[in-house]
Amino acid sequence: MILARRAAAVGAVALAVASLQPLGAQAASTRIVGGTPAAQNEFPFMVQLSMGCGGALYKKDVVLTAAHCMNGSGNDTSITVTAGANDLNAPGAIKVRSTKVKVAPGYDGTGKDWALIKLARSVDRPTLKIATTDRYNRGTFTIAGWGDTQEGAGTGTTKLRKANVPFVTDRVCKRQYGNRLVSKEELCAGQQRGAIDTCQGDSGGPMFRKDDANKWIQVGIVSWGDGCARSGAPGVYTEVSTFAKDIARAASAL
Ligand code: ARG
C-alpha cells in the first residue's frame, strides 16, 4: 500500500512485457476518500476505464489517463470506456472500446505518468481543457472518481464521487516524499490533516479547477500517494502543464 504507485507502475511495465493482462487487481485499490456524490452531469468529461482507473475526455475520441493504468503503447482494443453517467450501471451509460494507447514517451514508473487512449468512436460529451501554463497550479482543486472511499477497501464505488483539495507546494510535499517526488513532473494536493484524497481506482482521473473564464481546466492526473488520505501525505498528481505540448502532439498523432 505504501509506494502504491511505484509498485503499480513497475507491475504495469512487467505485465506489458510478460502479458497483456489488465491491471484490475492492482488498480482496484484507490477511490475518493472523504468526498460526496457528484451531481448528474456535473463533470460530463469524466470517464471510467474497465481495468479500474479514471480518465477525462481530452477530445471526443481521446481519453487522457495515467500511464501506470496502461500496459504500454500500441493497438489495444481491450479497454472499455464508460462515459456519460455518474452511475456506471445506469442504462444510459455510454460504453466505447479503445483502439489504441499511447503511453508518455520515456515513461519508466517515475514521473511522466500520462497516457492517451483512442476510442473506437466519438463520445458526444464535453471535453476537459488541459492547463498549458503553470498559472493554475495553485488554489483549490476538485478531484472525482469511482475509486475506494477508504484506504485498503479495494472495491471502488459504482457512483461517481467528488471532493476538493488544496494545492501543496513541492517543498511541503517533499517532507513526506523526499526525492520520490519528481517536482517538475508532479504536483501535490491535500490537507495537512489528510481525510480527503484520491485513492486506488481513481488513478488516471483528472484533478481540475476553474480557469479565469470560469471553465473547468485540468491541472493534474491522479497518480500515487502513501496510502490514502493520511495526515501529512498529500496525493501526488501528474503536472499536466509540464506535458501539455507533449499531450497535444501525441493526440494529433494517435
Ligand atoms: N495509484 C492509485 C491507482 O492506481 C492512485 C493512488 C492515489 N493515491 C493518493 N493517496 N492520492 O488508482
Q: Are 170 and 179 in contact (CB under 8 A)?
A: no
Site residues for ligand 1, CB cut-off 6 Å: 4-5, 8, 27, 30, 147, 197-203, 222, 224-225, 228, 235
Confidence of residue 32 (pLDDT cuts 50, 70, 90): confident
Question: Ligand 1, residues 6, 15, 30, 164: which to mutate, most atoms within 8 A of Cβ?
Answer: 30
Tell me if 183 is assigned to some domain: yes
Q: Are 28 and 158 in contact (CB under 8 A)?
A: no
Domain that residue 232 falls in:
129-242
Query: What's the 113 CA to ligand 1 centre distance in angstroms?
Result: 12
Q: Is the pLDDT of residue 3 over 80?
A: no
Tell me if 149 is assigned to some domain: yes
pLDDT digit string (tens) for 45-78? 999 999 999 999 999 999 999 999 999 999 999 9
Percent of the chain with pLDDT over 90: 87
pLDDT at residue 216, as a whole number: 98
Residues 173 and 155: their CA atoms lie apart, in Å, by: 28
Tell me if 187 is assigned to some domain: yes
Question: Ligand 1, residues 203, 236, 237: which to mutate, most atoms within 8 A of Cβ?
Answer: 203
Burial class (CB in 10 A: 0-12, 13-18, 19+), 106: exposed
- 113 in active site: yes
Q: Whose CA is nearest to atom 11 of ligand 1?
A: 235
Confidence of residue 4 (pLDDT cuts 50, 70, 90): very low
Confidence of residue 27 (pLDDT cuts 50, 70, 90): very low
Tell me if 67 is assigned to some domain: no
Tell me if 221 is assigned to some domain: yes
Q: Are 203 and 54 in contact (CB under 8 A)?
A: yes
Mean pLDDT within 102-121: 98
pLDDT at residue 182, as a whole number: 98
Strands 129-130 and 216-224: parallel
DSSP H/E element including 166: strand 161-168
pLDDT at residue 24, as a whole number: 36
pLDDT digit string (tens) for 220-238? 999 999 999 999 999 999 9
What's the CATH code of the domain at 235? 2.40.10.10
- 29 in active site: no
The average confidence (pLDDT) of the chain is 90
Confidence of residue 103 (pLDDT cuts 50, 70, 90): very high
Query: What's the 5 CA to ligand 1 centre distance in angstroms?
Result: 7
Tell me if 217 is assigned to some domain: yes
pLDDT at residue 101, as a whole number: 98
pLDDT digit string (tens) for 196-212? 999 999 999 999 999 99
Residues 226 and 224: their CA atoms lie apart, in Å, by: 7
- 78 in active site: no
Mean pLDDT within 163-174: 98
Catalytic residue, chosen from 29, 203, 223, 241, is 203
pLDDT at residue 1, as a whole number: 32
* Ligand 1 atom nearest to 151, measured from its CA: 10
Query: What's the 3 CA to ligand 1 centre distance in angstroms?
Result: 10
pLDDT digit string (tens) for 125-134? 999 999 999 9
Neighbour tally for 54: CB within 10 Å: 32
Question: Ligand 1, residues 5, 207, 221: which to mutate, most atoms within 8 A of Cβ?
Answer: 5
pLDDT at residue 126, as a whole number: 97
pLDDT at residue 177, as a whole number: 98
Burial class (CB in 10 A: 0-12, 13-18, 19+), 12: buried
Tell me if 105 is assigned to some domain: no
Q: How many domains does the chain fold into?
A: 1
Tell me if 4 is assigned to some domain: no
Q: Is the pLDDT of residue 102 over 70?
A: yes
